[in-house]
Every structure is written in C-alpha cells, then in structure tokens.
Amino acid sequence: MTSITDSRARDAFAYWLLRYRRVWRGTIVISVANPVLFLTAMGAGLGTLVDHHDSGYLHGHSYLAFLAPGLLAAGMMQTAYIESAGPVHASARPGGNYRAALATPLQPADLLAGHLAFVAFRVATSALAFALVASAFGAVPPTRVPGLWLAALLTGMAFATPVAAWAVGVQRPAALTAGFRFVLMPMYMFAGTFFSAEQLPAWLHAIVVCTPLYQGVQLCRTLSLGTATVPGSVGHATYLALLVAFGVLVGRRRYARELTA
C-alpha cells in the first residue's frame, strides 16, 4: 500500500506544498483571525449571556470553554472539505494536474497519498493555530492543547479521506456545493458545535450521534474540558479512525478507476 513514506507519494505532496507557497500568508491570517473573531463574538460576547443563566447543559463550565473545542472540530471539518473536495475534483478532470502527473512514474495511489498528506498538513496547522488562540483566550488549558490538537486533526481527516474518494469521480462542481450546503452545514448547526446535542428531540439526537462531526466534537470537548473517559475517548477515536481508513481504501479504488479509465 502506498504511503507518504514512498518517494513518489512525497513527490505528489511536494507539488501541493509548492502550490501552497503562493497563498500561505492568506491562510495563516484566516487560521488566526477566524478563531479570534468567533471566540470573541460567540464566546466572550454571547457567552456572558449564557453564563448569566447558568445552563445545566454546560455542567459548570463557561460557555467559552464549552464552545471553543466544538468550533475547532467544526472548523477542521470545513478545512478538510475545502482542501479535499474542489482541488481533487479539478485535479481529476481532463487537463487537471492528476492527469499530467500520470504521464510520470506517479500512480493513482501516489496521488491520493500525497494529496491526503497535504490535507493533513493544512488541517494540522489550522488546528494548532486555533487551539493556541483558544488557549490564549483562556478557553483551553495549555496542558490540554496537544491532546485537543490531535483530536481535531483526526476529526478533519475523518472527513478528508471519504470526501477525496467521492470527489475524484464527481462530474459537476454543483455536487460539491450541494454536499457542503446540505451535508456539512446541517452537521455544523446540529452536531453539538454551539449547544449540547442533549437538548435536541430524541429522534434527532439519535441521528446526530451517528455523525462524524458529533464524534469529533465530543472527543475534542471532553479532552479540552478534562471530562474525558478512556472508554468514551477510545470510542470516539475508533469511530473517526475507521472512517479515515474507509476513505483511504475506497479512495484507492476510485482513484485507480477514475484516473485510468
């Protein structure tokens, strides 16, 4: 199985890094500015009103501390989708860079491994920036930042690999927009990012707990708040890791089929 340790996969990864050199300054600003604005408005602003009412769903924590890990998980979901949906689709179309790369010794599996390595790099750097900003706001204790960062990275990759496997065969860009609008955004709103999913009706809660964002939010939030248990964390992490593995396995098959047809 091709991995990023293979030289050809590293070449594919280097290509995406070379492209990133042109835009990295803008993404760094977004990675820092977005959490600052969100945490200021939703946490420090709205949070004062929520804390005043002393909601039992916060279990004694401030709304800022409750919100920050949820926003981090949801933000990494969005970053993963943006980096693995449109770029994969454009690269796989006629005239795309995948097609050009196949004229070299690179194979479809190398292209998948290299691209996913770049997405992991983007998610990792964005998650680290967000976690550090949240820590500066007092929302996350500094000693819990490493665990929170790893949980956010796993959450992002649980979306990146299945999305890449799907996007490589998408024919119309409108499908990518529809996926963001009708799949990601409902999860963003209802999977516990802004409020406890326990407040949802029972039938909706049963659906929400099956979504990868809910699993990622719970993993990040419990690690950040210090309420994590070994069975709970292992369960959330296993769910997300299996989704990563599923995306890689399906992606290898779809990349081979779509790029060699």
**In the prediction, which pLDDT does 29 show?**
75
Average pLDDT, the chain: 91
**In the prediction, which pLDDT does 2 show?**
59
pLDDT for residue 59 is more than 70: yes
Dist. CA 131–CA 136, nearest whole Å: 9
**In the prediction, which pLDDT does 27 show?**
81
The pTM score is 0.93
Q: Are 236 and 148 in contact (CB under 8 A)?
A: no
Q: Are 242 and 250 in contact (CB under 8 A)?
A: no
Q: Which amino acid makes up residue 189?
A: M
Dist. CA 84–CA 62, nearest whole Å: 34
Question: 101-159, pLDDT tens digit by residue?
Answer: 999 999 999 999 999 999 999 999 999 999 999 999 899 999 999 999 999 999 999 99
Q: Are 71 and 35 in contact (CB under 8 A)?
A: yes
pLDDT for residue 51 is more than 70: no
The dihedral through the CA atoms of 97, 99, 104, 108 has a sign that is positive
The Cα angle at residue 245 between residues 242 and 248, in degrees rounded to 5: 150
Q: Which two tokens stand for residue 25?
A: 């300054």
**In the prediction, which pLDDT does 37 show?**
84
User: Token match 């860079």: residue?
Assistant: 97
Q: Are 236 and 218 in contact (CB under 8 A)?
A: yes
**In the prediction, which pLDDT does 99 show?**
94
Q: Are 33 and 181 in contact (CB under 8 A)?
A: no
Residue 242 CB contacts under 8 Å (≥ 6 apart), including other chains: none
Closest CA to 89 of 260, 261, 259, 221: 259
What are φ and ψ of residue 129, in 5° steps? -60, -45
For residue 170, name the pLDDT band (cuts at 50, 70, 90).
very high
CA distances in angstroms from 178 to 93, 159, 166, 175, listed in the order given: 19, 16, 13, 5
Coil, strand or helix at 5:
coil
Closest CA to 134 of 48, 69, 50, 221: 69
Dist. CA 100–CA 96, nearest whole Å: 7
